[in-house]
Amino acid sequence: MSPRTSVVWTPDFLSYQLSDDHPLNPVRLDLTMRLATQLGVLDGVETLAPEPATDEDLTRVHTPSYLTAVRSAPHEPWGVGHGLGTDDNPIFLGMHEASALIAGGSVLAARAIAEGRADRAVNLAGGLHHAMADRAAGFCVYNDCSVAIAWLLEQGYERIAYVDVDVHHGDGVQAAFYDDPRVMTISMHQHPLTLWPGTGWPGEYGKGDGAGYAVNVPLPPGTGDAGWLRAFHAVVPSLLESFRPQVLVTECGADTHSDDPLANLELSIDGQRAIYHSLRDLAERTAGGKWLVLGGGGYSLFRVVPRSWTHLLATALDRDVDPARPLPADWVAHAAGLTRHPLPTAMTDGHDPSFTPWGDDVAERVDSAILETRRAVFP
């Protein structure tokens, strides 16, 4: 039977706007939903409308005093602490409500999978992976990734894998489950010496019962499609094959792209599409097909995020979009009314999707070569 995919969406997600000129501009979500709709990717797909996460959901990860601070900050902004009121995390009206709605969206996606109504579920507004138990960080107020994982654990799940392909280290999710062997966290990111938050060293591997269940893959600035995919296929599939997660949760930030203004990796739309296909394949092969897809970073608002995340939605819906497909004229006209940047014309950056001298089937061939070696070493 073909997989059932739920998409969590409400226009109210657009109220997570940290300030007028903040890089995390919700227009990227609006443009993505418009593009996916105009390409027919969402035809016949019923979207699920979320409720805000409850305090019970949020306090599985965050402290009650932090919730109180987030609620009161817009009304009493002086000396609020908890990482709030910085350039990265400005205080905004309705901050608790907008943040709780995103976390509720990721819990709803997890619930759709847990209740057997979906095999895959997507919340593109989610992926706020830097928020810590008692503080906001890196544009993230509530850590919806951790809140959704904690909800799954509460339902009795015993093995959840979290794979974070955002260019930044998934520090908040790693911290939330650092001593918990039920959650394997894997983050690929630009090297900590060269990018905030400066963590995600290979030597961060978990502690106590969780030792070995945190994995970090730092990549040098300038890493492109082939290097990124080579590192991923050398590390991630064999870990997931061993761990056998019951659900694969992925943070799919699109800020690895060469056009991204915040970071320095050099991936293309075609490389990001290949990542999403690999994640889907891994969910099928290692997690019984259960795949919870979250958004994340991505600051090239017009040229990158809408195309990349339309490919992500299409991948989760098994409606892969041909990279050569032209962008719909209506979408281009709408986007052109909002920016003076030149807009792309097609769903590709024109990069060769095989990425390596080994050919198109590289993912499967590299994965199986590594698995064969591992089985020989650890029979």
Min dist CB 98 to ligand V1S, Å, is 14
Q: How far is the CB of 238 from ligand V1S (least distance, A)?
A: 26
Cα 18 → chain centroid: 19
State the catalytic residue, choosing from 82, 129, 130, 189.
Answer: 130
CA dihedral 49, 55, 59, 64 (to 10 degrees): 140
CA 13 and chain centroid, separation: 16
Among 57, 119, 164, 255, binds Ca ion (CB under 5 A): 164
The binder of 187, among ligand V1S, Ca ion, Zn ion, none, by C-beta within 5 to 8 A per type, is Ca ion
Instruction: Label residue 171 exposed, middle or buried (CB < 10 Å: 0-12, 13-18, 19+).
Output: buried
Report the distance separating Cα 184 and Cα 205, nearest Å: 10
Helix (H) or strand (E) run with residue 245 in it = none
Residue 373 phi/psi, 5-degree rounding, is: -60, -45
CB 141 within 8 A of CB 99: yes
Of 125 and 287, nearer to ligand V1S (C-beta) is: 125
Q: Which two tokens stand for residue 91?
A: 């205080």
Using CB under 6 A as the criterion, which residues of the chain lie in contact with ligand V1S when the complex forms?
Answer: 22-23, 87-88, 128-130, 138-140, 166, 168, 195-196, 253, 255, 262-263, 296-297
**CB-nearer residue toward Zn ion: 26 or 253:** 253
306: partner contacted, choices Zn ion, Ca ion, ligand V1S, none (Cβ within 5-8 A by kind)? none
Judged by CB under 5 A, does residue 189 bind Ca ion?
A: yes
Closer residue to ligand V1S in complex, CB, 42/103: 103
CA distances from 326 to 58, 121, 177 (A): 42, 27, 43
Cβ closer to Zn ion: 157 or 232? 232
Instruction: For residue 130, indicate whether it is catalytic.
Output: yes
CB of 114 to ligand V1S, least distance (A): 25
Q: Pick the stretch among 41-49, 88-96, 157-165, 295-303 that binds Zn ion (CB under 5 A).
A: 295-303
Least separation in angstroms between residue 284's CB and ligand V1S is 27
Residues 70-98 as b/e (b if ≥16 CB within 10 A, e otherwise) read beebbeeeeebebbbeeebbbbbeebbeb
Identify the residue among 57, 119, 166, 225 touching Ca ion (CB under 5 A).
166
* CB 101 to ligand V1S: min, Å: 16
Task: State yes or no: residue 271 binds Zn ion (CB under 5 A).
Answer: no
**Partner in contact with 138, chosen from ligand V1S, Ca ion, Zn ion, none, beta carbon below 5 to 8 Å by kind:** ligand V1S
Q: Which does 196 bind (CB under 5 to 8 A by kind): Ca ion, ligand V1S, Zn ion, none?
A: ligand V1S
- Restricted to residues 156-195, the positions that interact with Zn ion (CB under 5 A) are 166, 168
Measure the CA–CA gap between 44 and 5, rounded to whole angstroms: 11
Report, in Å, the least distance between residue 139 CB and ligand V1S.
5
**Nearest distance in Å: CB 131, ligand V1S:** 10
- Which residues, in sequence order, are CB contacts of 106 under 8 Å at separation 6+? 8, 123, 126, 144, 145, 147, 148, 292, 294
d(CA 324, CA 141): 38
Neighbours of 165 (CB within 10 A): 27
**Greatest pairwise CA separation for the chain in angstroms:** 62
Closest to ligand V1S by CB, 39 vs 132, is: 132
Name residue 123's beta-bridge partners: 294
Strand, coil or helix: 186: strand
Residue 297 near Zn ion by CB under 5 A: yes
Look up residue 3 and give its two tokens: 């997989």
Q: Which is nearer to ligand V1S, 271 or 297 (CB)?
A: 297
Three-class DSSP category at 196? coil
Closest to ligand V1S by CB, 192 vs 297, is 297
Applying CB under 5 A, does 295 fall inside the site for Zn ion? no
Whole-angstrom Cα distance, residue 237 to residue 78? 47
Kindly list the residues in this chain that would bind Ca ion in the complex (CB under 5 A).
164, 166, 170, 187, 189
Tell me which residues touch Zn ion (CB under 5 A): 166, 168, 253, 255, 297
Active site positions, annotated: 130
